[in-house]
Amino acid sequence: MSRHTHLPGQPLTALYLLHAGSMDARLIGLSVERHWKHSVRLVATLDEARVVLVDCDRPGVEAAFEQLGQHPRTGVVCYAFHPKDHAPRFPNRVILGKPLNLESLPGILAQAANDTARQVAVAPPRPQAAPETPPANFSSKPAALGHGLKMDDERDLCGAMDDIPLTAGATLPEKLFFDPDLYLIGHLSRAVEQAIVSGRPHVISGLPRLIGVQPRPLPICVTAFRDNQLRPFSMTQLPNTTARIVSSLIFSESVGTDTVYGAEDFLWNIAAWAARGRLPLGADPYQRVRLKAWPNFTHAFVSPHALRIAALWTRTWASPVEIATRLAIPHRYVFSVFSSAQFAGLLDRDAPAVTPPVIAPVVAPTQQQRPSILSRILRKLLNAV
Amino acid sequence: MRSERARHNKIIFSGTVGAGKSTAIAALSDIPPVSTEAVASDETAALKRTTTVAMDYGVLNLPDGEKVMLYGTPGQERFSFMWEILSEGGIGLVLLINNANTDPLKDLENYLAAFRKFISGTAVAIGVTHMDRAQEPGLDAYRQKLADLGHDPLPAVFRADARNREDVAMLVKALLYTLNPGLIDA
C-alpha cells in the first residue's frame, strides 16, 4: 500500500500538534513532508487546524485541552503509552496507543476532523458561546489500528499476534514480520557492524539525538537519548532517509559523554522494542536455532517469559515455534526474544546436521519436590523486586 | 543422617575477595545478614578493609513460612575447605567475580573447579561485578572462557552490581530457571 494515501477530491487535513514533544513533532513533520504531503498539512496555529494531535503523556495536558474549548469544530486525536489509563480523564476522546501507526494515522486524523465538523453542523444551536468541544467518539473504531484503548502493557511489549501453525507449509501473515530497515534497529545494526569492521567509531546522525558506536576496546553505544525517549523512538517507523551513518574520528567530541550502553544490550533492547512480538523479515519460525548465551538480563530488556526462553534455548536446538510449544506460551514471546537475539549476535543458526529430537514438554513443577521450592522462591523474588 | 545445615533450602554465594558476596546477600535477605567479617590482615587488606573469614548468611522468608538460607562462603582460598561443607544440599551457586582483580578469568576457572562437583548436580549463575571500574574482560570473554572449560550449555553470566537487589534477584532467578525452565513465573 502506498503511504501517499489520498482520496481524490479530499482536502488536506490541517493538523496542529497541540501538545507534542519536540521529537514527536520532528518525526511527524518528516512523515508529513515525505509521505503524507497529499493528505496532511501541518499548520502553525490552532485557529487554522481541522484536527489536533495531543500527547497525553506529557505534563500539562489538561491546560492544553482548555485551549480546545474555543475550537469546537476542531477534531481531537490523543495518543499515549497507556490509553486505558487516560480514558477516565478524557472520556469519549480517541486515544491511540504509542507507537503511532504511521500507515493509518492520516486516515484517523481526517476522520476525526470530518466527524467533528459533521457533529457540530447537526448539533442544535447553543445559547452560550465557547461550547465544550463535541466528543469525537471513536470507541468502536481504533480496533482497526491493532492498538488503542484495548492496549495494555503486555501488548506494548510483545504485540498481540496470534500463534501461527505449528508446522511449516501454510502462508504466514505479512504482519508477522517487520522490516528492520524501517526502524532504528536497522540503522543501529549497520552502524555497529561498520564500526567493528573498520575499527573506527561511527555515529548515527539525522535523529533528534546522536547515537555513537565505539568499537574498542569493547563495543559500546553512547547517546543522549533518555530511556523513555528511546523506547517510543525504537518502536516508530523512521522515514528511509532520516538517519545517516557516518564514520567519526572524534567520537567523544561528536557525541559527548552521555549514557553508555554495552552494544549487545543496546541492540537487544532496541530490537525488542521494534519487534513487539514479530520476527525480522526473512526469519524462519520453523528453523532450529539456539541461543549462544544468555543475554545480560541485568541490563537487557526482559520481555515476558524471556528468562524461561533463554534457559531452554541455550540448551536446546529448537525452532521458535517449538520453544513456544514446549513452554506452553504464545509464539509472540519467543519471536520477541528471537528478534533481539538476532540483532545482539546471540543467535546460533549452525545447527548440527542431525539435531536430537525435541524433548518432551517441560515437566510441570508440581510433579517434583525441587520445582516446588524453586517456584516458591521464584514467586518470592518476583513479588519482592 | 543429614546435618541441620544440609536440610535447609539454601542458595550458595561464592566468589573472589571483594566481589560483593556479603553485599549481595544483604541486598536480598529479609533479615539483617549475620556476618563474620573481620579486619583483613593479609593480602586481602589491599583490596578491602574487612573480609568474611568464616561465612555469612541471610534468609529469604517464603510466604508459607519456609525459609531459604543464603550462604556466603569466605572469599579467601585458605578457607576453601568450608566451601564443600557449606554447599552440601544447596539449591545452586551464585558465583560473583570481581572484574577489577588481576586475572578474573583465572578466578572464574578456579572457582568453577572448586565447585565442579556441586555445580554438576545443580546449576550456577555468574555475576561479574565492578565492571564500572574495570570494563575488561567483557561478558564475551567470560562466555568464551566457559566454553573453553567445556561448559555446554553456557551458564548465565550477567554484569551485576551486588548492591542492587534487582541485579542479585536476577541472578537467582536465572539460577532457578536454569534448574527448571518450566517454572511458572506468573
Domain ranges of chain A: 13-151, 180-271, 284-379
pLDDT at position A144 is: 25
Task: Select from A23, A15, A155 the least CA-distant residue to A81.
Answer: A155
CB-based contact, B165 to chain A, within 8 Å: yes
Answer whether B156 touches A (CB < 8 Å): yes
Which chain A residues are closer than 8 Å to B158 by Cβ?
A: 294, 296-299
DSSP string, chain B: ---HHHHSEEEEEEESTTSSHHHHHHHH-SSPPB--EEE--SGGGGT-SEEESS-EEEEEE-TTS-EEEEEE--SSGGGTHHHHHHHTT-SEEEEEEETTSS-HHHHHHHHHHHTHHHHHHS-EEEEEE-TTT---S-HHHHHHHHHHTT-SSPPEEEE--TT-HHHHHHHHHHHHHHH-TT----
More confident call, B128 vs B31: B128
Beta bridge partners of A41: A14
pLDDT classification of A136: cutoffs 50, 70, 90: very low
Q: Does B176 touch chain A (CB under 8 A)?
A: yes
The amino acid that residue B114 corresponds to is A
**A370/B182 Cβ within 8 A:** no
A329/B contact by beta carbon, under 8 A: no
Residue of B nearest to A324 (CA): B182
CATH code of the domain made up of A13-151: 3.40.50.2300
Question: A193: which residues sit within 8 A by CB, 6+ positions away?
Answer: none
C-alpha–C-alpha distance, residues A31 and A209, integer Å:
18
Q: Which of A220, A380, A382 to mutate to test the interface with B (most CBs of B within 10 A)?
A: A380
For the segment B51-70, the average pLDDT, to the nearest whole number, is 77
The pLDDT score that the predictor gives to residue A373 is 84
Q: Is A332 helix (H, G, I), strand (E, B) or coil?
A: helix
What pLDDT is stored for residue A354 in this prediction?
Answer: 67
- Give yes or no for residue A132 having a pLDDT over 70: no
Report the pLDDT value the prediction gives residue A220, as an integer from 0 to 100. 93
Closest CA to A251 of A204, A186, A185, A218: A204
Q: What is the pLDDT of residue B38?
A: 53
- The whole-number average pLDDT for the span B87-93 is 89
What's the pLDDT at A384? Answer: 52
Q: List the domain range (segments joined by +) for residue B104.
A: 4-178
Give SS3 for A27: helix
Residue A317 has which C-alpha cell? 536446538
Burial class (CB in 10 A: 0-12, 13-18, 19+), A158: buried
Q: Distance between CA atoms of B89 and B84, rounded to whole angstroms?
A: 10
- How large is the average pLDDT for residues B169-176? 96
Whether the predicted pLDDT of B160 surpasses 90: yes
- Give the model's pLDDT for residue A143: 26
pLDDT-derived band at A2 (thresholds 50, 70, 90) equals very low
pLDDT value at position A250? 64
A262 contacts on B by Cβ (under 8 Å)? 138-139, 159
Tell me, what's the pLDDT at A135? 31
What DSSP designation does A180 have? G
Distance from the Cα of B86 to chain A's closest Cα (Å) equals 19
Q: Which residue has the higher pLDDT, B129 or A236?
A: B129
What pLDDT does residue A51 have?
92
CA distance B125 to chain A (A): 10
Strand pairing class (B67-72; B56-61): antiparallel
> For chains A and B, what is the number of CB pairs under 8 angstroms?
128
Confidence of residue B140 (pLDDT cuts 50, 70, 90): very high
Q: Is A364 in CB contact (< 8 Å) with chain B?
A: yes
Q: What is the pLDDT of residue A38?
A: 80
pLDDT mean over A265-285: 95
Secondary structure letter of residue A36 according to DSSP: -
Assign A130 a pLDDT band (cuts: 50, 70, 90).
very low
B184 located within any domain: no
Sign of CA dihedral A203, A204, A206, A209: negative
Whether A310 sits inside 8 A of B177 (CB atoms) is yes
pLDDT at A363 > cutoff 70: no
Reply yes or no on whether the pLDDT at A334 is more than 60: yes
Q: How many domains does chain B have?
A: 1
Contacts of B154 in chain A (CB under 8 A): 292-294, 314
pLDDT higher than 90, residue A121:
no
B-chain residue closest to A379, CA distance? B185
Q: Which of residues 235-264 of A touch B (CB under 8 A)?
A: 262, 264
Q: What is the mean pLDDT of chain A?
A: 79
Asked if B123 has any chain A CB less than 8 Å from its own CB, the reply is: no
pLDDT at A385: 44
Percent of chain A with pLDDT over 90: 37
| Optimal mutation site among A294, A317, A329, interface B, most CBs of chain B within 10 A | A294
A384: chain B residues, CB-CB within 8 Å: 165, 169
Confidence of residue A28 (pLDDT cuts 50, 70, 90): confident
Decide if pLDDT at A120 tops 50.
Answer: yes
Contact A24, A58 (CB under 8 A): no
b/e A364-384 (16+ beta carbons within 10 angstroms → b): ebeeeeebebbbbbbbbbeee
Top-confidence residue, A81 or A175: A175
Nearest to A381 among B139, B164, B173 (CB): B173
% of residues, chain A, pLDDT over 70: 79
In a domain, B162, yes or no: yes
Q: What is the average pLDDT across A293-299? A: 97
**Alpha-carbon A209 to chain mean position:** 18
Range in A216-225, A266-275, B31-40 with the lowest mean pLDDT: B31-40
Residue B49 lies in a domain: yes
**Residue A58 corresponds to which cell in the numbers above?**
506529557
Is A337 near chain B, with CB under 8 Å?
no
Q: Is the pLDDT of residue A287 over 80?
A: yes
Identity of the residue in A294, A315, A374 whose CB atom sits nearest the CB atom of B183:
A374
- Mean of the pLDDT values across residues A240-252? 76
Smallest CA-to-CA distance from B183 within A260, A309, A292 is with A309
Count of other CB atoms within 10 angstroms of residue B16: 24
Asked if A264 and B139 come within 8 Å (Cβ–Cβ), the reply is: yes
Q: Which of B122, B139, B152, B171 to mutate to test the interface with A (most CBs of A within 10 A)?
A: B139
Q: How far apart are CA B108 and CA B97, in angstroms?
A: 7
Residue A15 has pLDDT above 70, yes or no: yes
In this structure, is the dihedral angle defined by the CA atoms of residues A20, A24, A29 and A35, taken in order, positive or negative? negative
In a domain, B19, yes or no: yes
Mean pLDDT, rounded, for A235-249: 82
Is B156 close to A218, i.e. CB distance below 8 A?
no
Residues of B within 8 A of A293 (CB-CB) are 139, 143, 154, 157
Q: Residue B8 is part of a domain; what is its CATH number?
A: 3.40.50.300
Q: Name the pLDDT band for A142 (thresholds 50, 70, 90).
A: very low
Contact A134, A119 (CB under 8 A): yes
Please check whether residue B62 touches A, CB under 8 A.
Answer: yes
Using an 8 Å Cβ cutoff, are A158 and A336 in contact? yes
Mean pLDDT across the stretch B162-184?
93
Q: Does A315 touch chain B (CB under 8 A)?
A: yes
Mean pLDDT across the stretch A263-291? 96
Sequence-ordered list of residues with C-beta below 8 angstroms from that of A59, at least 6 positions apart, any chain = none
Per-residue pLDDT at A148 exceeds 80:
no
Is A360 an 8 Å CB contact of chain B? no
Interface list for A 287-306 with B (CB within 8 A): 292-294, 296-299, 304-305
A381–B contact, CB cutoff 8 A = yes
Q: What is the mean pLDDT of residues A221-245?
A: 85
Give the per-residue pLDDT at B8: 62
- pLDDT at A180 exceeding the cut of 80: yes
If you ran DSSP here, which 8-state letter would residue A35 be given?
T
Q: What is the mean pLDDT of residues A287-316?
A: 95
Cβ atoms A121, A95 nearer than 8 A: no
Helices (H) and strands (E) in chain A, counts: 13, 14
Q: Output b/e per residue, B25-55; b: 16+ Cβ within 10 A.
A: bbbbbeeebebebeebeeebeebeeebbbeb
Q: Tell me how far the alpha carbon of residue A302 is from its chain's centroid.
A: 15
Q: What is the pLDDT of residue A7?
A: 44
Specify if B135 maps to a domain: yes
Q: How far is B169 from chain A (nearest CA, A)?
A: 6
